[in-house]
Amino acid sequence: MTKSYVKIYGPPVAKALHALEKVAVETPEVSFYTSTMAFTPEISFLDRAFEEYLMYHGITEAEVPKKRREKLISKSGATLGEYDFFFEWVIEPDYKRVENLLNRIDKALKPLGCMYTISTK
């Protein structure tokens, strides 16, 4: 699976992670994983991460289709490494899809004033 790894140079890192979560939810071609998830116990990990996402963004569960909820959070978090966040592509991305994701990230992080790097591999 192709992933786009993001390293955030903040502050505000926590707000940037939440902004990237929102980008992931609004981008059906990706699932996501974030560094804060590494501290969540394995039992019902995905359910808890999804619930935390909903609470933070003030979204009801009904607003995210069930099929999307099941694939929203990546199950391959061990590959995060030195990065803060990754978008895992559920389809092989082409140049236009990656560029669209970059534009969404730029738009989401601009008001926060933090910088980032991204690497798609």
Output the tens digit of pLDDT for each of the chain's 121 residues.
899 999 999 899 989 988 998 898 888 888 877 766 655 555 455 566 667 667 766 776 666 666 666 566 666 656 667 898 889 998 999 999 999 999 999 999 999 999 999 999 9
Is the C-alpha dihedral spanning 63, 15, 105, 4 positive or negative?
Answer: negative
Cβ–Cβ < 8 Å for 47, 5: no
In the prediction, which pLDDT does 43 show? 40
H or E element that contains 90: none
Domains in the chain, number: 1
Structural domain span for residue 46: 3-120
- Indicate the pTM of the whole model: 0.76
Place of tokens 């690497």: 119
Question: What 3-state class would DSSP assign to 51?
Answer: helix
